[in-house]
């Protein structure tokens, strides 16, 4: 048996409770991970509460369970140690420190989880590799999802040295990694968030700062080569007007109407509208290399023990978190 945070109904953080379930057994192509740390993300909170756009709500509800969750353990990011390997696994061995994402299988809010040793398109976003040697388990647990999403967007944008990049919602998980990737590719970075996050954002390389409570970046006359909208609360039309020629507009949480409008704009102008894509083991290995080279780091706001996962979700939903919130499952 193992301890886990269970969800038996959709709703507020109160639906999360500590319980015991059977410890998983790895299949021939899987590894069993003793989880040291996980993360509490906005995405986890959206799945728990099911407050999301309707065109995402319907397929996700069918996948997760219409009346109640079929997946009773949430959490998509983890770090830990390999405790056992399936007979076909060659890539990992017992004792290896690893980090990765459980994808839409979830399961990171527990003492143990099984993941495939090699990622395939059918694995629902499950990706695993060796933990960066210069990261703690807590730091590593925040990188696989947000880090890979940020990397995917910055690669799609094909940022060139000296280009101007604006990140709306820069102070959260995806935003803090995106700032660092944009700087890595040589951009001049403007961040939009609350003023209380500016010191943190300055520490990871941001150049210019806009307090969304005081100024609307789409109305100040400035233009950018790339706009990454993490929070999705700005006018689509004005964001397009804030792009330079050949500009790229990256949508982390696109509305259905924006997807269709984006297709039309991308075909009829020099501007491009882009959404996210699939991440691979190669991408996670590249992220690991950048972390070990000192180019990318995790920003951690708070850590909560496993039994306080509900409190972690409440804090994430305030919108005040700076970077990432960690769930400590077991101490090393």
**70-87: per-residue pLDDT in tens?**
889 999 999 999 999 999
Q: How confident is the model at residue 120 (pLDDT cuts 50, 70, 90)?
A: low
Contact (Cβ atoms closer than 8 angstroms) between residue 189 and residue 208: yes
50 or 173, higher pLDDT: 173
What is the per-residue burial (b if ≥16 Cβ within 10 Å, else e) of 81-120? bbbebbeebeebeeebbbbbbbbebbbbbbbbbbbbbbbe
Q: What distance in Å separates the CA atoms of residue 72 and residue 64, rounded to the nearest whole number? A: 9
Residue 54 scores a pLDDT above 70: no
Question: Residue 123's pLDDT band (boundaries 50, 70, 90)?
Answer: low
Q: State percent of the chain over pLDDT 70.
A: 96
What domains are defined for the chain?
A: 2-143+298-328 (3.90.180.10), 146-275 (3.40.50.720)
Decide if pLDDT at 20 tops 90. yes
Weakest-pLDDT range from 54-63, 92-101, 263-272: 54-63
- Quickly count helices (H) and strands (E) in the chain: 10, 15
Residue 281: the pLDDT is 85
Lowest mean pLDDT among 136-150, 253-267, 279-293, 308-322: 253-267
User: How much of the chain exceeds pLDDT 90, in percent?
Assistant: 81
pLDDT above 70 for 23: yes
Per the structure block, which two tokens stand in for 59? Answer: 């397929």
Whether 124 has a pLDDT exceeding 80, the answer reads no
Query: Is the entire prediction scored with pTM above 0.85?
Result: yes
The predicted-structure confidence for 167-197, as pLDDT tens digits, reads as follows 999 999 999 999 999 999 999 999 999 999 9
What is the pLDDT of the chain when averaged over all its residues?
A: 93
Which pLDDT score, from 0 to 100, does residue 163 have? 98
- Per-residue confidence at 122, pLDDT binned at 50, 70, 90? very low
The pLDDT assigned to 331 comes to: 67
pLDDT of 259 reads 84
pLDDT in tens, 277-313: 667 889 999 999 999 999 999 999 999 999 999 999 9
| Cβ neighbours around 296 below 10 Å, total | 23
pLDDT tens per residue across span 210-244: 999 999 999 999 999 999 999 988 899 999 999 99
Query: Which residues have C-beta within 8 Å of that of residue 110, sequence separation ≥ 6?
Result: 2, 3, 4, 5, 21, 35, 73, 75, 329
- Residue 321: which of 305, 301, 306 has the closest Cα? 301
More confident residue, 69 or 192: 192
pLDDT above 90: residue 158: yes
Residue the block writes with tokens 């527990």: 110
Dihedral-angle region of residue 200 (phi above 0 means left; psi in -120 to 50 means alpha; beta otherwise): alpha
């Amino acid at each position: 048996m193992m301890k886990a945070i269970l969800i038996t109904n959709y709703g507020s953080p109160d639906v999360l409770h500590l319980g015991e379930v059977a410890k998983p057994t790895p299949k021939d192509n899987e590894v069993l991970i003793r989880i040291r740390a996980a993360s509490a993300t906005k995405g986890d909170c959206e799945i728990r509460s099911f407050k999301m756009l309707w065109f995402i709500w319907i397929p996700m509800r069918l996948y997760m369970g219409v009346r109640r969750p079929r997946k009773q353990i949430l959490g998509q990011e983890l770090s830990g140690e390999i405790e056992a390997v399936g007979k076909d696994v060659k890539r990992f061995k017992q004792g290896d420190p690893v980090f990765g994402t459980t994808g839409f299988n979830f399961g990171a809010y527990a003492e143990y989880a099984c993941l495939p040793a090699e990622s395939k398109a059918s694995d629902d976003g499950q990706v695993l590799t060796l933990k960066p040697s210069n990261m703690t388990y807590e730091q590593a647990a925040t990188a696989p999802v947000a880090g890979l999403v940020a990397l995917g967007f910055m690669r799609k944008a094909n940022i060139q040295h000296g280009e101007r990049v604006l990140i709306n919602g820069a102070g959260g998980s995806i935003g803090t990694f995106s700032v660092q990737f944009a700087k890595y590719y040589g951009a001049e970075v403007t961040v939009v968030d609350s003023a209380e996050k500016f010191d943190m954002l300055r520490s990871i390389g941001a150049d210019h700062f806009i307090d969304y409570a005081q100024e609307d970046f789409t109305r100040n006359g400035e233009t950018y080569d790339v706009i990454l909208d993490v929070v999705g609360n700005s006018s689509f039309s004005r964001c397009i007007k804030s792009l330079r020629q050949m500009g790229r507009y990256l949508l982390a949480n696109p509305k259905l109407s924006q997807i269709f409008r984006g297709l039309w704009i991308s075909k009829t102008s020099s501007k491009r509208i882009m959404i996210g894509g699939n991440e691979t083991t190669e991408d996670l290995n590249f992220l690991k290399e950048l972390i070990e080279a000192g180019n990318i780091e995790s920003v951690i706001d708070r850590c909560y023990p496993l039994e306080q996962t509900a409190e972690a979700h409440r804090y994430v939903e305030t919108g005040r978190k700076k970077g990432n919130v960690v769930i400590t499952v077991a101490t090393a």
